[in-house]
A and B are shown apart, each in its own frame.
Chain A
Amino acid sequence: MKLSRDWLAVIAAAVLVALVKLGVVAGIPW
């Protein structure tokens, strides 16, 4: 099954949110 770009974006964002929540990713600068 081919995922649409919409779903890919949602999954990528969900992974990032999970990484931040778990503390794997922290202190993102801007």
Chain B
Amino acid sequence: MVVPVASPSSLALTASRRWLSLVPGIVVLGVIGYAGKIAEQSIAAYGRAHHLTLPNIEYVLWAIIFGLVIANTIGVPAICEAGIETYEFWLKAGIVLLGVRFLLGDVVRLGGVSLVCVVVELAVSIAVMTLLGRAFGLSPKLTSLLSIGASICGVSAIIAAKGAIDADDEDASYAIAAILALGAVSLFVFPLIGHALGLSDHAYGLWVGLAVDNTAEATAAGALYSEAAGRFAVLAKTTRNATIGFVVLGYALYWIRRGGAARVGHRGAFLWEKFPKFVLGFLAVSALATAGAFTKAQAADIANLSRWAFLFTFAGIGLRTNVRALVRQGWRPLVVGVAGECAIALLTLAMIAGLAQRFLS
């Protein structure tokens, strides 16, 4: 049998075509994100010029709303889809760069506090979602996926778990749709509750990092409150993300015992494969900043690069939220999701209130 071998020049051509196919979507992300920034600045300038006290709506929300409206009205051309999918790349790069704003000691201290909360949150989320899934008659694997999505990090955890527990595509898209719908709602609800309760930036950031499922939405919900809250939300969420391998491995082993999933090879290799590598990048940049590797101006530049990366992410959140697809998914997973998320949000809020006086300023 003759195996066709691609020549180096044709491989290079394919690679460059693939990179080029990303450009239109990335341009769309940049334009929508920047339009959000202009909207925030224009409204603030108008208020100043006319001596009006207008609510300060962050560019984050504008970028999400613009993306949401475009994706659900005129739609996004197919040529832009590949580039829009890069929003997660920008999120991860932004988190790595944000490491410059954290001293390693703070990461260890706050990460330690977060980790304790994360362990409690994981146990409660999994228990609540499992009970609700059974009560509403969802399939066991859909219940597992919803539990994983609600306890760790939304979409990426569900995708990681889908392969590990051999779940159906339909179950995975159901779970993803429910988590995304709840993420979109949390963007509006969490800042309102945070302001109503007068939470500090630390407390609010930690709460959002623990209770909002998807990393992109947690980052946005934090940034909507304040820049400092956004940083703490990222730190808490990153701590939560770091546990993804353990939870997915636990579920994989559970389903293997029940004969519903293929064997897991080496457990260490499995954990490493599922571990979010950008956490290591975040810690490395934080370690460099702690060691004094950057001048004040350089640290400000790196932090600003992180903001630009997040600007692309926030545009992507709106653009990939398809309201019609969410409605089509039916009401039961959504009810389970809403009930579960409310329980998790309340519990984590109670935990934060308990911690606030001792650990958070």
For the complex, is B24 an interface residue (Cβ under 8 Å from A)?
A: no
**Interface residues on chain B, number (Cβ under 8 Å):** 28
Q: Are B302 and A20 in contact (CB under 8 A)?
A: yes
Distance of B293 from chain A, by nearest CB (Å): 7
User: A26 near B297 (CB under 8 angstroms)?
Assistant: yes
Nearest CB in chain B: distance from A24 CB, A: 11
Asked if A12 lies at the interface with its beta carbon under 8 angstroms from chain B, I say yes
A20 touching B301, Cβ below 8 Å: yes
Judge whether B276 is part of the interface by a CB distance below 8 angstroms: yes
**What chain A residues lie within 8 Å of B206 (beta carbons)?**
none
Residues 84-130 of B at the A interface (beta carbon under 8 Å): 88-93, 96-97, 100
Contacts of B285 in A (CB 8 A): 13, 17
Using known A-B contacts A9-B93, A21-B298, determine if residue A4 contacts B305 with beta carbons closer than 8 Å: no
Tell me the nearest residue of chain B to A30, going by C-beta: B304
- Nearest A residue to B92 via CB reads A9
**Contact partners of A7 in chain B: CB under 8 A:** 277
Contacting pair A26 B280 (CB below 8 A)? no
Measured between beta carbons, the chain B residues less than 8 angstroms from A12 are 89, 93
Minimum distance in angstroms from B83 CB to a CB of chain A: 14
Q: With a CB–CB cut-off of 8 A, which chain B residues contact A17?
A: 97, 100, 285, 288, 302
Question: What is the bound-complex CA distance between A26 and B296, given in angstroms?
Answer: 12
CB-defined interface of B183-215 with A at 8 Å, one 1/0 digit per residue? 000000000000000000000000000000000
Chain B, residues 280-291, CB within 8 Å of chain A (1/0): the string is 110011001000
B136 interface contact, C-beta 8 A = no
Residues 1-30 of A at the B interface (beta carbon under 8 Å): 4-10, 12-14, 16-17, 20-21, 25-30
Chain A neighbourhood of B96, CB < 8 A = 9-10, 13-14
| Beta-carbon contact of B302 and A16 below 8 Å | yes
Whole-angstrom distance from the CB of A27 to the nearest CB of chain B?
7
| Candidate in A7, A9, A10, A26 with the most chain B CB atoms within 10 angstroms | A9
B246, CB-defined interface residue at 8 Å: no
B244 to chain A, nearest CB (A): 11
Distance of A20 Cα from B89 Cα, bound (Å): 20
- A contact residues around B270 at 8 Å (CB): none
Q: Which residues of A contact B300 (CB under 8 A)?
A: 28
What are 18 sample pairs from A and B whose C-beta atoms fall under 8 A apart? A5-B92, A6-B276, A6-B277, A9-B281, A10-B93, A10-B281, A12-B89, A13-B278, A13-B285, A14-B284, A17-B302, A20-B294, A20-B302, A21-B293, A25-B301, A28-B304, A29-B304, A30-B307
Question: A9-B92, A17-B100 provided; 18 other pairs, C-beta below 8 A?
Answer: A6-B277, A9-B96, A10-B92, A10-B93, A10-B281, A13-B93, A14-B96, A14-B281, A14-B284, A16-B93, A17-B288, A20-B301, A21-B293, A27-B301, A28-B300, A28-B304, A28-B305, A30-B304
Residues of A within 8 A of B (CB): 4-10, 12-14, 16-17, 20-21, 25-30
User: Which residues of B are interface residues toward A (Cβ below 8 A)?
Assistant: 88-93, 96-97, 100, 276-278, 280-281, 284-285, 288, 293-294, 297-298, 300-302, 304-305, 307-308
Closest 3 CB pairs of A and B: A9-B92, A13-B96, A10-B281
